[in-house]
Structure 1
Amino acid sequence: MIRYNAPLLMVLIFLLLTLAVGLYVSERATTFRAYAVGNKRLHTTTLVVTVLATTFGGGGLMRTVSKVHAMGLHHIVVIFALPLGLWINSLLVLRMEPFMAHLSIAETLGSVYGKYTRLIAALLSICFSIGVVAIQINVMSSAIGMCIHLIDPRIVTVLATLILIAYAMVGGIRSITITDIWQFATFTIIIPLLIKFVFIKTDQSFLEVICTLKKQEKFQFSQLFQWNKEQPLKLIWDSLSVACFLDPSVVQRAYMASGPIQAYKVFCRATLFSVIIIGCIASIGLLAFVGNPMLPPTTIWPYILADMPPVYKGCVVLSLLGMTMSTADSNLHTAAIMVSHDIVESIRGIKTIPYVHQLRLAKLTTLVTGLLAMIITVYCSDLIQLSRFVFTSIMTFFKIIIIPPFSLAVFGFRGSARTALIGMTIGILTALTLKKWLQLTIGIGWGLLPMVANGLAMMATHYLLPQPTDKGWIPKNHQQKRIQQLIRAFKKYKKSIDLE
């Protein structure tokens, strides 16, 4: 009887340990800043792990495996654009020295473009964060339902959600960071076991697996560059869409760093490790395809878990729980900061409010947003439909509206509120036009061109309309020049070591 209860027992032990770790390491924050971004003395390795744990969620694992099986090499190329996005972040954070004292991407935008831009950024970030949490809860339910049949999976899902809400609400960023390490370690240990099991299930050698994939049309490089078709253009669009996105929860990790240099190191190392993680995840989809090429997308994971020993199933659930909880708690925390800090200050115009009230509001927001995400999951239980809404609607609007003004601000542009709002409006109008006229002909969604239109509109507005004297491009300060000199010296030193 114990053998058949193994997955449930493993999940309960994991959840209890997660709650214990989260509550044990929690400190009673005396300031909202400590609750939001910590003491800025975290080790670089700790920040790297929390960036990776936030970036890779359980929903991404399940979607990636299914899409690699269904779409082949096209989706593999697309998902390897994610490390490129982290590398782009590393370049941006080098220029963020003037904003390192901020708590969120919305505050940075507000400091440059005014409170209305800050309010818009906060609202979009909150909507995106709640949607991501809802996706992770949905993945929890699906994983538990596939592996545990003794009780209603919704019971364990609610328990897991309440646990992550509890430690995120009580301990703030410290509890989230430490539990991210625990959850990410669980994921990295178990994923190789899953790869091994799926490989054994193919009943083929490594060379036979490679030969099988070479014979499949969807895994041949020649199919990516058939210019008489729409596929190359779609490939470029999808890759850029993944690379050109600043996740507000991931960017917030830059504000936790001691300075731009540490933030740069964090994102550079995260870039390298993300390549390995994506390779492991993609290999699961490849092996599942070799095992059964004719599977429809909805049956890929049931196929992987079929005939799997109970302990292995428990490990799979733990891996998915680790990924989902580490992504969900970070997004809950981001939403709490946006509400208690950015929304409040944007609406009321308060620069300083009593810490006790701000902390209470942040904790209450964590609870409310977590419960709201659970409700959304109940009413939208289809993971594909929910993911499509979050990552094609909310995320696209976030890209169009937020990324251009933020990138310009980081590189030294100081525009007025009117400049930012006009750029956002032009970006949205461009997106709606492209969606109506181009999507039907070349299959491209909308995002990259509207982002460019937003940035160009901001530049045109700044130079064509009267502006305050303090607006425009600012030169690099001494600190930024010093940072670039240190980076060049470090690269030169590293190159000399490699030559030796």
Structure 2
Amino acid sequence: MICLHLPFVIVGAFLVLTLVVGIAFSRQDTTFREYAVGHKQFATATLVATVLATYYSGGGLIRNVQYSYKSGLYWIILALFINSFSRWILSRLMVCMRPFMHNLSIAETMGNVYGRYPRMITALVAVGRSIVCITMQIIAMVHAVSICVALDGFSARMVTICAALILISYSVFGGIRAVTITDILQFITFTLIIPFLAWLMFRQTGKSMVDIVAFLGTQERFQLSSLCHFDTKRLDMVAMALCVLVPDLGAPEIMQRVYMAADPHQAKTTFLYVSLFSFLITGFILLIGLFIFVGGGGALQSTDVWYYVTTHVPPLFKGAFCISLLAMAMSTADSCLNACAVIVSHDIWAPLQKPQTMDDLRKLKIARWATLIIGLSSMFLAFYCQDLFALLMLGFAFSLPVITAPALLAILGFRGTSRTALIGMATGAMAMVVWNKWVQAKTGIDGTFVCMLANGLAMMAAHYLFKQPEGAGWSR
């Protein structure tokens, strides 16, 4: 009986610890800047931990293990190499961020370069993307509790609601400081547990590493020749790989970490370390999927891999695995929640008010209400949409076709007019609608990357075809 309840006790203890840490490090910020990006004196190690905690989500863990099992070598290359390379590219872009390091959000950066209306559009799109991301993490929490803890569906949802309310609570009251400290706790939690889980799955195979490699070499999905086989399904994977390759300029929670850095050099160093640690963490996650494939003889359905895990680990580690999933989900969700609240207050609400009426106290109040409303909305939305992969692609569809191209051009030194940016954004959005209706519906190939290119090309065409005011163009 004690063994049956042990995972539940471990999960409950972790949630209580998270709440205590979040509340303990919460404080009433006196300025909105402190709430949004802190004092900009964070240690590089702290920034690396919070960025990695934000990147590695519960949904990502579930998805990566399932797809490394299902798609084999192609997914391994996508997750291991392309993801890390994307973060390395982002680190190289940080040297160009000096003009924007005083900003609080990517929407403000867009507003400084392109004007009020592109800023507002960026803010609205970023909020939509953040809600999708938070929803994904709450779904991951439901999966974690349902898989690992012996509860019925109703009880599992109650535990998930408690976890969601905990992260909403410290996000509301603590601002970025509480979010960062809890991110560090959650980062330590899942980076300790994931390698141990990989080792347990390796032990379960009963084979040596040489035998495992030999076995995988006999499986078609893990052979190099599988990369040369092209069909519409494979092209869809290529399209997704291109989306992953693009630096996360349209992710408000990641860009918020950039603005938390003291200067571009610290931001560059942070994301360089992130790219290196990403390779290691992702490697362990993918090994879990490979060892499950070998242990199950390749006979399992991809949807059953987590049930394989929970039936082949002791009760104590079943609870540890559950809190690992919860830690990854909560660390990503609270970052998205805080970044989204900052954007609502700073980039949507404040520009619509008279400047003299929007002091820091009012902006803080709006941000806290936004945190509560967005968090609760995402929690209820999560119970009506369960497809993590579809939500991932929806997140890409929000940001890449609209935000990423103008943001990348701005960081590289392009200074365009509002008209130029609006033409690009409208082109990207309309291209996404057209692609989804007439191309993806027939082929299944995602067009997010193509629509991002359409955005950038439309901006360049508008800039060079129309007369521009003095000062518009490339500043570098």
Q: TM-score, structure 2 length as denominator? A: 0.95
1:312 aligns with 2:334: no
In the other structure, the counterpart of 1:202 is 205
1:349, CA displacement in angstroms? 6.2
1:351, CA displacement in angstroms? 8.0
Q: Is the 8 A contact 2:128 2:398 kept in 1?
A: no
In the other structure, the counterpart of 1:355 is 360
Q: Is the 8 A contact 1:190 1:316 kept in 2?
A: yes
Counterparts of 1:307 and 1:457, CA distance in 2: 54
In the other structure, the counterpart of 1:335 is 340
In the other structure, the counterpart of 1:294 is 299
Q: Aligned partner of 2:379: which letter?
A: M
Counterparts of 1:473 and 1:127, CA distance in 2: 30
Q: Aligned partner of 2:221: which letter?
A: K
1:238 aligns with 2:240: yes
> Residue 130 and residue 436 in structure 1: after superposition, are their counterparts in 2 closer, same or farther (change >3 A)?
closer
In the other structure, the counterpart of 1:54 is 54
> Residue 185 and residue 436 in structure 1: after superposition, are their counterparts in 2 closer, same or farther (change >3 A)?
same
In the other structure, the counterpart of 1:10 is 10
Q: Deviations over 1:446-488 (max 9, x none)?
A: 022221221121111112112221322113xxxxxxxxxxxxx
Counterparts of 2:309 and 2:354, CA distance in 1: 54
In the other structure, the counterpart of 1:284 is 288
1:225 aligns with 2:228: yes
Q: Is the 8 A contact 2:340 2:371 kept in 1?
A: yes
Q: Is the 8 A contact 2:427 2:455 kept in 1?
A: yes
Greater shift after overlay, 309-318 or 294-303? 294-303
1:190, CA displacement in angstroms? 0.7
Partner SS state of residue 4, structure 1:
helix
In the other structure, the counterpart of 2:454 is 453
Q: Aligned partner of 1:265: which letter?
A: T
1:435, CA displacement in angstroms? 3.9
Q: Is the 8 A contact 2:22 2:181 kept in 1?
A: yes
Greater shift after overlay, 276-285 or 111-120? 111-120
Greater shift after overlay, 58-67 or 455-464? 455-464
> Residue 302 and residue 334 in structure 1: after superposition, are their counterparts in 2 closer, same or farther (change >3 A)?
same
Counterparts of 2:199 and 2:205, CA distance in 1: 10
Q: Which residue of the other structure, out of 170, 173, 187, is the alignment partner of 1:167?
A: 170
Partner SS state of residue 344, structure 1:
helix
1:393, CA displacement in angstroms? 2.8
In the other structure, the counterpart of 1:372 is 377
Counterparts of 1:342 and 1:75, CA distance in 2: 37
Q: Aligned partner of 2:244: which letter?
A: V
Q: Is the 8 A contact 1:225 1:232 kept in 2?
A: no
Greater shift after overlay, 217-226 or 275-284? 217-226
Q: Is the 8 A contact 1:332 1:366 kept in 2?
A: yes
Counterparts of 2:7 and 2:418, CA distance in 1: 54
Counterparts of 1:438 and 1:138, CA distance in 2: 29
Q: Aligned partner of 2:465: which letter?
A: L
1:145, CA displacement in angstroms? 1.4
Q: Deviations over 1:154-179 (max 9, x none)?
A: 12111111111111111110011111
Q: Is the 8 A contact 1:94 1:264 kept in 2?
A: yes
> Residue 367 and residue 434 in structure 1: after superposition, are their counterparts in 2 closer, same or farther (change >3 A)?
closer
Partner SS state of residue 70, structure 1:
helix
Q: Aligned partner of 2:283: which letter?
A: G
Provide the alpha-carbon RMSD of the alignment: 1.8
Counterparts of 1:203 and 1:351, CA distance in 2: 69
Counterparts of 1:221 and 1:140, CA distance in 2: 35
Q: Deviations over 1:418-450 (max 9, x none)?
A: 101111122233334444554477653102222
1:234, CA displacement in angstroms? 4.3
Greater shift after overlay, 323-332 or 306-315? 306-315
1:337, CA displacement in angstroms? 0.5
In the other structure, the counterpart of 1:494 is none
Partner SS state of residue 4, structure 2:
coil
1:88 aligns with 2:89: yes
Q: Aligned partner of 2:409: which letter?
A: L
Q: Is the 8 A contact 1:225 1:231 kept in 2?
A: no
Counterparts of 2:129 and 2:439, CA distance in 1: 26
1:124, CA displacement in angstroms? 1.1
1:307, CA displacement in angstroms? 3.9
**For residues 64-83 of structure 1, what are the structure 2 equivalents within 5 Å?**
64-80=64-80, 81-83=82-84
Q: Deviations over 1:274-315 (max 9, x none)?
A: 000110111011111111212112211111111421101001
Counterparts of 2:202 and 2:378, CA distance in 1: 36
Q: Deviations over 1:208-266 (max 9, x none)?
A: 11111010000011210246x45764454222111115222112100000010000000
> Residue 147 and residue 16 in structure 1: after superposition, are their counterparts in 2 closer, same or farther (change >3 A)?
same
Q: Is the 8 A contact 1:112 1:409 kept in 2?
A: yes
> Residue 351 and residue 206 in structure 1: after superposition, are their counterparts in 2 closer, same or farther (change >3 A)?
farther
> Residue 63 and residue 47 in structure 1: after superposition, are their counterparts in 2 closer, same or farther (change >3 A)?
same
1:8, CA displacement in angstroms? 1.0
In the other structure, the counterpart of 1:270 is 274
**For residues 383-394 of structure 1, what are the structure 2 equivalents within 5 Å?**
384=387, 386-388=388-390, 390-394=391-395
Counterparts of 2:136 and 2:440, CA distance in 1: 26
Q: Deviations over 1:158-208 (max 9, x none)?
A: 111111111111111001111111101000111122112211222222211
Counterparts of 2:443 and 2:148, CA distance in 1: 41
Q: Which residue of the other structure, out of 215, 230, 241, is the alignment partner of 1:212?
A: 215
Q: TM-score, structure 1 length as denominator? A: 0.90
Q: Is the 8 A contact 1:49 1:184 kept in 2?
A: yes
In the other structure, the counterpart of 2:427 is 426
**Structure 1: tracts of 5 or more residues without a match:** 476-500
Counterparts of 2:64 and 2:176, CA distance in 1: 28
Q: How many residues align?
A: 470
In the other structure, the counterpart of 1:178 is 181
Q: Is the 8 A contact 2:89 2:247 kept in 1?
A: no
In the other structure, the counterpart of 1:155 is 158
Q: Is the 8 A contact 2:252 2:340 kept in 1?
A: no
**Structure 2: tracts of 5 or more residues without a match:** none
Counterparts of 1:62 and 1:412, CA distance in 2: 38
Counterparts of 2:165 and 2:174, CA distance in 1: 14
Q: Aligned partner of 2:243: which letter?
A: S
